[in-house]
Copies of this chain bind each other. A is one copy, B any other.
């Protein structure tokens, strides 16, 4: 029974998607792609990808944070963060300072330019969020965030 007993709903193209419609991962991935795509369009004028904005935010909220801490918080492999941080530094948005306690590590800080750009990017992010969530009420948004957190918090 390769159809799994389902005669499921159809997508806009009139194709029966069967069991896919019942899988949380299917919907989570499609929603993620749609939202992140819109976020990218809004953030493009700032020259920031979603991961760039995430890194800037972590540095803004945690001055002196190390690369390893960023990697742990965002699930990025250390080698893949090197170029990203290098790019932000080359644009003059962040700077590296010696870590006070550990001479192996480097503390990351926003420059004044970085603070200005991050402030503008935060406003853009809020605007994008408001637009992305027009289909949802405020209560639905809160519910959605709560349920999504449940899904990845206990892994």
Residue of A26, A31, A123, A136 most packed against chain B (CB within 10 A)? A31
Instruction: Find out whether the CB atom of A28 lies under 8 angstroms from the CB atom of B25.
Output: no
Could you mark each residue 1-33 of chain A with 1 if its beta carbon is under 8 Å from any beta carbon of chain B, else 0? 111101110010101111110111111111111
- Decide yes or no: A135 and B151 within 8 Å by CB, A15-B62, A28-B31, A35-B25 being known contacts: yes
Chain B residue contacts of A82, Cβ below 8 A? none
What's the number of copies of this chain in the assembled complex? Answer: 2
In whole angstroms, how far apart are the Cα atoms of A33 and B33 in the complex?
Answer: 11
A44 close to B (CB within 8 Å): no
Instruction: Find out whether the CB atom of A33 lies under 8 angstroms from the CB atom of B136.
Output: no
A-B contact pairs, 6 of them (CB 8 A): A15-B65, A16-B61, A17-B61, A18-B60, A27-B149, A34-B151
Q: Which A residues fall within an 8 A CB radius of B?
A: 1-4, 6-8, 11, 13, 15-20, 22-39, 50, 54, 56-58, 60-62, 65, 69-70, 72-73, 75, 110, 114-116, 118-119, 122-123, 125-126, 129, 132-133, 135-136, 140-141, 143-145, 147-155
Known: A1-B122, A16-B58, A25-B32. 14 other contacts (CB 8 A): A2-B56, A2-B114, A11-B73, A15-B61, A15-B65, A18-B58, A20-B57, A22-B129, A25-B50, A25-B132, A31-B149, A34-B151, A35-B151, A35-B152
